[in-house]
Structure 1
């Protein structure tokens, strides 16, 4: 698992997060010094207190990304539990590379809604269908 954190993508991310964290530290010290100079203000002091929070948030994001990557490798969702699958999904064979290449990017349309079921939704669907027809017709 830790080996996946040594891929070129992750090494670049590690460097980016380290540089961002160090930069927020330098910016905090710089604003702290500016606040104590003759031209300094409370705004500089506020920034000096905010930059460490930005650095802490950077570290939080770094840890969160690592944990999400590990969870993805284990096939879990973000909560740490296995993703729920239906009985049909468990019994079907995994998708092949050929099936993934030929799978349409746009899902099939939803079944039509009867005006008796939901008149507002039926009207909205008719409106969208009209927009689609006007978009498809040559101008």
Structure 2
């Protein structure tokens, strides 16, 4: 239990209590607003207590983790799995089929855009407004 009395853990305890109280108070506030006619507040009236429950869940999980001593620094090696009949068999690797090369673009707009990109690549300091257009170089 001394592990839960360090300054870091005391801050966690205080933060947990503060969050739970704040979330439950916000849930109560939303419930009072919902009862006075605000229909949207019904969703928040149920949401804030769920947040408080989540904070409690995280706090309990961290306390259990700390009391168990955390994860071992050197995990024990796992037992060797039993050998199967197909262990030494290599499976073929499937490679992608190469696509046939496209001879020429069918779309004139695509050809113009590719020309524009090639011009930008050839003229790195140029601005887009300096582009002369296709066939005007």
TM-score between the two structures when normalised by the length of structure 2: 0.52
Shift of 1:76: 4.5
Equivalent-residue separation in structure 2 for 1:12 and 1:61 (angstroms): 15
Map 1:1-139 onto structure 2 (within 5 A).
2-38=1-37, 40-41=38-39, 43-71=40-68, 73=69, 76=72, 83-85=75-77
Equivalent-residue separation in structure 1 for 2:76 and 2:46 (angstroms): 43
Structure 1 residue matching 2:75: 3-state secondary structure = coil
**Residue ranges of structure 1 left out of the alignment (5+ in a row):** 87-116, 120-139
Structure 1 residue matching 2:56: 3-state secondary structure = helix
Shift of 1:61: 0.2
TM-score between the two structures when normalised by the length of structure 1: 0.51
Structure 2 residue matching 1:85: 3-state secondary structure = coil
Q: Which has the larger radius of gyration?
A: 2
My pick for the range that moved more, 29-38 or 56-65, is 29-38
Q: Which fold has the larger relative contact order, with Cα–Cα distance below 8 Å and residues 6 or more apart in sequence? A: 2
Runs of 4 or more, structure 1, over 6 Å off, are none
Q: 1:67-121: CA deviations, max 9, x gaps? A: 11122x26549xxxx93237xxxxxxxxxxxxxxxxxxxxxxxxxxxxxx9x9xx
How many residue pairs match? The answer is: 83
Could you say which structure has the higher helix fraction?
A: 1
